[in-house]
Amino acid sequence: MDFATLIGLFSGLALVVAAILMGGQINIFVDVPSMMIVLGGTFGTIFVAFPFEEVRQAFHAGFKAFSSRKVQVREVVGTMVKIAEISRREGLIALENVKTENMVLKKACQLIADNAEPGLIRTTLAIEITSMKRRHKVGEEVFKRLGSIAPSFGMIGTLIGLIQMLSNLNDPKSIGPAMAVAIITTFYGSILATVLFLPIANKLRTRTLQEELHLEVIFEGAKSILENNNPLLVSEKLSSFLAPRERK
């Protein structure tokens, strides 16, 4: 998560908190039973909707999306062009020594170096790509679902509060505060969904789209290397993946 993002995020939320403080003390927004309903309900229900393992992975991916460095497309294009040059100069077998953190690129290099037949390489890489998409999708799905369960439990909490209040209307003075407490769960549910769950789901989708793009660059690059195109043509072709101002 780069610095500019942090500034944007915190200055935005600071405005919200400042506005709330201008209206009164913040402690009227803290209500323990309301938290128990919204958080307990939301996290309890997510385990009915998804296996434990997938929820764990989703939270792991959620954290990683903020901490890990973003690899630029132009770096991937650069790597593929360099690999094309190596394979031209030193033969396909030289790809065995390519070092990379990207699992799919590693597999592609190995298969090319092993002289596997083109059809098999294409199928294998295609499986890798679909398989990675499938795994990434899970994280997005879990957070989207959290973003839909949280407001539902917010509303359920408000219904609970209203029913309790309406069943027992003896003291007219207590109606206002009781309503306030009833509404707090809806407030919690909306905040959780709007500020946390849905944006994280979106961030994970953005990440996935980006990794898909990287894999497509690798896929197209590997095809070109197999067809023994010269590195200049590979560079020309792969630069089409970049935005105009990223091409030099």
Closer residue to its own copies in complex, CB, 118/177: 177
Question: C-beta of 64: minimal distance to its own copies in Å?
Answer: 14
Closer residue to its own copies in complex, CB, 93/155: 155
Are the CB atoms for 238 and 77 separated by under 8 Å? yes
- Among residues 90, 97, 118, 127, the one that binds its own copies under rule CB under 8 A: 127
Touching its own copies, residues 104-123 (CB under 8 A): 107, 111, 116, 120, 123
Q: Which residue has the tokens 């997938």?
A: 54
- Among residues 44, 78, 91, 118, the one that binds its own copies under rule CB under 8 A: 44
- Provide CB contacts within 8 A for 65, sequence distance 6+: 200, 203, 204, 207
User: What CA dihedral angle connects 162, 198, 132 and 70, to 10 degrees?
Assistant: -150
Question: C-beta of 247: minimal distance to its own copies in Å?
Answer: 9
**Using the rule CB under 8 A, is 241 a contact of its own copies?**
yes
End-to-end CA distance of the chain: 26
Q: Tell me the site size for its own copies, rule CB under 8 A.
A: 105
Question: C-beta of 75: minimal distance to its own copies in Å?
Answer: 15
What are the structure tokens assigned to 21, written together?
């403080």
Backbone angles phi, psi at 181, to 5 degrees: -65, -40
**Using the rule CB under 8 A, is 171 a contact of its own copies?**
no
